[in-house]
Chain A
Amino acid sequence: MNTYAKLLIRLQPSGRQLLQQQQQHEQIASSLPTVFSSVRKASSGTTLEYDTPKAYKLHMLEKGPSTHVSCNREEGLEYYKKMQVIRRMEASANNMYKSKLIRGFCHLYSGQEAVCVGMKAAMDKNDSLITAYRAHGWTYMMGVSVTGILAELTGKKTGCAEGRGGSMHMYAPNFYGGNGIVGAQVPLGAGVAFAHKYRGESNVCIALYGDGAANQGQVFEAYNMAKLWSLPCIFVCENNGYGMGTSTARASANPNFYTRCEYIPGIWVDGMDVLAVREATRFARDWCTSGKGPMIMEMATYRYFGHSMSDPGTSYRTREEVQDVRKSRDPITSFREKVIEANLATDEEFKNIDNEVKKIIEDAENHAQNDPELHVDELYSHVYSMRPENFKIRGCDNFTFKEISK
């Protein structure tokens, strides 16, 4: 709501200072300085390899994911392209929202791209995933086209839910959304994991939630069930530092979300490094599919935009903080630099990829703005599955009964 945007005031002066102090103490040490030297040393002409000693922290685990990560040229360019698509897609959503082509609520993923791209790179094609409302990046990674996403945001028929769902309710095969109520998706993820186990599939369900949702009771209920029944569920906390406008320090007695469960092992991962994320996901996936039960991952990441389009994102954090992260820890530019450093690709090639991405987004925007909307008869469709005999949806008066065809 615009109300929220215009009327969010700055925190009390002492509150902001406190925040800044805490942020300074919690500053995740950038792994870049050590990385570049190791990149140059380790990488041959065909692979990018480097060490990430600070990328993981372990809870209840003797051994963690490998701190030596690598990727080849194709993978490098693919990850870059995917992250860039998401970044540009969110920028497009931002612009369309501001010109009132998208209404309602819109939560942007910019800054967190490495998490979804890195994790998907380690996922099997039959793994399931469920997340909360900051879902556009994940929707793209789970197979929906940019057109399907942008048209869904503008409420057109070519959207992935035919315009009915909007920003928070996008779905795809093996992708269970897109959920509005904070934390409600986590027990659902445990249930999907149970289905995999029941059917004897060697797949996992990845249940994502944020730092704000980590304090919901139902998350702990899901932890208990998953551990009790050894479900192949990876609980992933995408910790971007803020639950709407509240920093993790002010919301959580224990802000180390990967340690929140004393009977499920956890890994903290530097969520801005796409290869570290991939490596950690491989480790977690192997853990779960070998029958060892669930695992928790905390992705330390950051969002550049506010909580939603109604939130400028600057009343609870400084502009300098946001710019600082963009400069020193941006997942896309830092990955691009590493790939160039390893001589896997040139600046020119990246520019070409950027242009391709631009075209994809422009085409999708075109569809999003010009495709037809859903017909009003869909107002009463899909409320139930098989409609009972002679069942009609009652309308706004006793004489309006709609025969529902589906």
Chain B
Amino acid sequence: MNLSVHRLIPTISTCSSFFIRRRLAHFTFFKDQPDPAHGPTKEMNLCQTIQNALDITLKNDHTAIIFGEDVAFGGVFRCTAELRPKYGADRVFNTPLCEQGIVGFGIGAAVAGATSIAEIQFADYIFPAYDQIVNEAAKYRYRSQNLFNCGRLTIRAPWGAVGHGALYHSQSPEAQFMHTPGIKVVIPRSAIQAKGLLLSCIKDDNPCIFFEPKILYRSAKEDVPLNEYTIPLSKAQIITEGSDITLVSWGTQVHVIRVVAQMAAKENISCEVIDLRTIVPWDVDTICQSVSKTGRLLISHEAPITAGVGAEIAATVSKECFLNLEAPIERICGYDIHPIPHVFEPFYFPSKWRCLEAIKRMINF
């Protein structure tokens, strides 16, 4: 799929022009450089990288199983391609169309000792499984006083806006899982990050949900190390250092705020860009230390603003860094409507222009 990666034209007033230019993505993908210590690399996009990470897992962990809807032939996004011929039908298999059943089954298999990697076909479909995740997976260790746990469970799901997904193929439900102690929620911004984070999730002793930004599956092409490597969970990454304002985001939106940082630099505003990476448990220290330094915080995410992840970050930071703040914390997020109405998708986004406007407001406060 040739998802051409151009910058979004400035916000315009008429619908029709947007209609023509709808094919352009709303962000520019920023490539990262691989760590030379990780050895030889290969140019791969996000879905090939996920496939590579799963391949490594199946190879090294003989208890690993991958299951979900249509994963056997490779999955609707090809992330599990070629795994079944290589590792066998008893390790990579299809489930019927039943999300609650898939996650419940995954929890059981994990408790019994298998490394279960469940795929939910789209994050929008995860809700039938919400009870299993919140009431079973998250609570297993706690309610059994550590006698049992389903830490070997990892749930993967494609996440976020894709340009034409509309209401049921565009959701970003991370906030609804952040509110559940006992699970970890991780969202990568790129291929190199995804491999390290996914391998960490699989190895982690807690049930993890790994959301994969579906718009990046083809467009996030980087030189990804072929060896196995992990990236620590609950550690945010400072991508660019700065002194005037801290920008925090995750997933696709990180690329938007990186552009915003460049735009702000032209106006002599130095932005510190942070990728949160793990939504829960999130890295309070890195964010707070950064805000103590800069005095301003902007959080941006695709999901609707009310009670989004930004709300939790804003509340915590305003308590921890109250005396360091130079301006109120701003959240530039989606509207409080259902993400994302097909016909209005370009208007829904927390675009770079809105972010820049917020930065200027905070600088001039």
Let me know if B358 and A397 touch, CB within 8 A.
yes
Q: Flag if A396 contacts B333 (CB, 8 Å).
A: yes
Partner of A7, one of B74, B166, B328, B343: B74
Shortest Cβ distance from B66 into chain A, in angstroms?
16
Using A3-B218, A166-B342, A217-B128 as known contacts, say yes or no to A398 and B98 having CB atoms under 8 A apart.
Answer: no
Which of B19, B22, B96, B165 is within 8 Å of A251, CB to CB?
B96
Q: State which size class the interface on A falls in.
A: 35 or more
Nearest neighbor of A179 in chain B, beta-carbon distance:
B168
Give Cα distance in the complex from A69 to B328, angstroms.
74
Asked if B217 is an interface residue, CB under 8 A from chain A, the answer is yes
Tell me if A11 counts as interface (CB < 8 A to partner B). Answer: yes
Option from B100, B167, B342 in Cβ contact (under 8 Å) with A217? B100
Contact B1 A250 (CB under 8 A): no
Contacts A155-B343, A397-B357 given; does A105 touch B166 at CB 8 Å = yes
Contact A246 B94 (CB under 8 A): yes
Q: Which one, A40-48, A78-86, A374-382, is touching chain B?
A: A374-382
| Interface range for B | 35 or more
A168 and B168 contacting across the interface, CB-CB below 8 Å: yes
Query: Is B164 part of the binding interface, using a Cβ–Cβ cutoff of 8 Å?
Result: yes
| Given A182-B97, A217-B100, A244-B70; A164-B343 close (CB under 8 Å) | yes
Report the minimal beta-carbon distance from B264 to chain A, rounded to whole angstroms. Answer: 15
Q: Is B337 an interface residue (CB 8 A)?
A: yes
In the complex the two chains form, is A394's CB within 8 Å of B15's CB? no
Q: Which of B94-131 contact A (CB under 8 A)?
A: 94, 96-98, 100-101, 124-125, 127-128
A396 contacts B354, C-beta separation under 8 Å: yes
Over the window 15-30 of chain B, the binary record of Cβ atoms lying under 8 Å from chain A Cβ atoms (1 yes, 0 no) is 1100100100000000
Query: A368 to nearest B CB, angstroms?
Result: 14
Q: Is B36 an interface residue (CB 8 A)?
A: no
A345 to B210: give the CA distance in the assembly, Å. Answer: 61
The distance in angstroms between the C-alpha atoms of A269 and B77, with both chains bound, is 36
The answer to whether B128 and A218 have CB atoms under 8 Å apart is yes
Other-chain residue from B76, B218, B335 in contact with A395 (beta carbon distance below 8 A): B335
The 5 closest A-B pairs by CB, nearest first: A180-B168, A215-B96, A3-B1, A155-B343, A212-B97
Residues of B within 8 A of A (CB): 1, 15-16, 19, 22, 69-70, 73-74, 76-78, 81, 85, 94, 96-98, 100-101, 124-125, 127-128, 162, 164-169, 217-218, 305-306, 328, 330-338, 341-344, 347-351, 354, 357-358, 361
Residues of A bordering B, CB below 8 Å? 1-4, 6-9, 11-12, 103-105, 155, 163-164, 166, 168-169, 180-183, 212-213, 215-218, 243-246, 250-252, 373-374, 376, 378-380, 383, 393-399, 402
Given contacts A7-B1, A383-B337, list 18 more A-B pairs with CB under 8 A. A1-B1, A8-B73, A105-B166, A155-B342, A168-B168, A169-B167, A182-B97, A182-B125, A215-B97, A245-B70, A245-B73, A373-B16, A380-B335, A394-B336, A396-B332, A396-B333, A396-B334, A397-B332
